[in-house]
Amino acid sequence: MYNLNGKVALITGAGGEHGIGRAIATRLAKEGADVIVSDVVSNPYAHVSSDWEGAPSVVREIEGMGRQAVTILADVSNANQVDALVDEGVEQFGQIDIFVCNAGSRPGPDRVPVVELEEEAWDDVHNINLKGTFLCCRAVARHMIDRGGGGKIITMSSVSGRQGSARFAAYAASKFGVIGFTQALAQELASHHINVNAICPGVVDTERWSYIAAALSSEDISGEEWRASGRHDEAMRQRDSRVPLGRVATGEDVARTAAFLASSESDYLTGLAINVAGGSAMG
């Protein structure tokens, strides 16, 4: 549907089997891009499926489509690791044309009322979601400008970046921040023909929802235990009815918007924050 032949895409947080990152990485490959698959660890959800090897599984999937792919690990909150990620990606593929800034903090001790929120939990969320977005976009933007401009940067906010809700204070604040950052960067990079847009997903059925459910539960239960108890699917189906279009999103729903934003079809769009939420958030 789009032509990304000859383009190189970098996607962070792409090692989860059901994650948004994997869906975007494989969708961009299907459109013709070669892909740098990045994550903080090779297999972030190793416990969920014994068949899944994380980022290397995504690489194999993309190679199976006839595209090139490589895994490069980096912690997005660490400037040296982020700079090394971009340098190594450019060394291996010669360029980065598309950057999807998808890595996000794992829900846990941050999903409590503000009066119970520990400084460390706040910092963890902001270091990954907001500082990580800054560090990654800075490194990629420097590269894109150095090679003469042109490129697509897609950040990952959330409907929580438009409206706060109880027990989501740290997360919502970080995702509001991502939208402000995206708008500022879009203005700065417009003259270099680099488009910068944010995606704001609603509920997407990925591994992270077991962690959110466990953190919000009155039980003393971990995200791993929550998923193993078989309640993940049931909780997702309960949420389906709250979405006007009748179901929560899949990673592929988000990947469709990412593919559009990565393509030349979006050349006149910059500084936007686009809801992918089935109507559960508007405006």
Q: Which is nearer to ligand NAD, 123 or 150 (CB)?
A: 123
Kindly state the smallest distance separating residue 137's Cβ from ligand NAD, in Å.
13
Nearest residue to ligand NAD by CB is 104
What is d(CA 232, CA 215) in angstroms, rounded to the nearest whole number? Answer: 13
Look-up of token digits 């769009």: 269
21 near ligand NAD, judged by CB under 6 A: yes
Min CB(150)–ligand NAD separation in Å: 25
- Between CA 100 and CA 17 the distance in angstroms is 17
Q: Is 128 in the site for ligand NAD (CB under 6 A)?
A: yes
Q: Is 77 in the site for ligand NAD (CB under 6 A)?
A: yes
For residue 20, what are the CA distances in angstroms to 17, 86, 249?
Answer: 9, 21, 10
Two tokens at 96? Answer: 């980065």
- Per the annotation, the verdict on 175 as an active-site residue is yes
List, in order, residues 6 or more apart from 149 with CB less than 8 Å away.
192, 193, 194
**Is 37 a binder of ligand NAD (CB under 6 A)?**
no
Q: Using the rule CB under 6 A, is 110 a contact of ligand NAD?
A: no
Q: Which of 89, 177, 201, 278 binds ligand NAD (CB under 6 A)?
A: 201
Looking up tokens 């912690």, which residue turns up?
A: 75
DSSP string computed for 23-75: HHHHHHHHTT-EEEEEESSS-TTTTT-TT--SHHHHHHHHHTTT--EEEEE--
Is 7 a residue of the active site? no
By CB under 6 A, which span of 144-152, 202-210, 213-221, 263-271 interacts with ligand NAD? 202-210
207 near ligand NAD, judged by CB under 6 A: yes
Binding range to ligand NAD, per CB under 6 A, among 57-65, 73-81, 143-151, 238-246: 73-81
Q: Which residues pair with 73 in a beta bridge?
A: 39
CA Rg value for the chain: 18
Locate 91 and state its tokens.
Answer: 């060394």
> CA-CA distance, 67 to 77, in Å (whole number)?
29
143: contact with ligand NAD by CB under 6 A: no
Q: Which of 86, 103, 153, 215 binds ligand NAD (CB under 6 A)?
A: 103
Catalytic, out of 45, 131, 152, 171: 171
203 binds ligand NAD (CB under 6 A): yes
Catalytic residues: 171, 175
Binding site for ligand NAD (CB under 6 A): 12-13, 15-16, 19-21, 39-40, 44, 75-77, 102-106, 128, 156, 158, 201, 203-204, 206-208
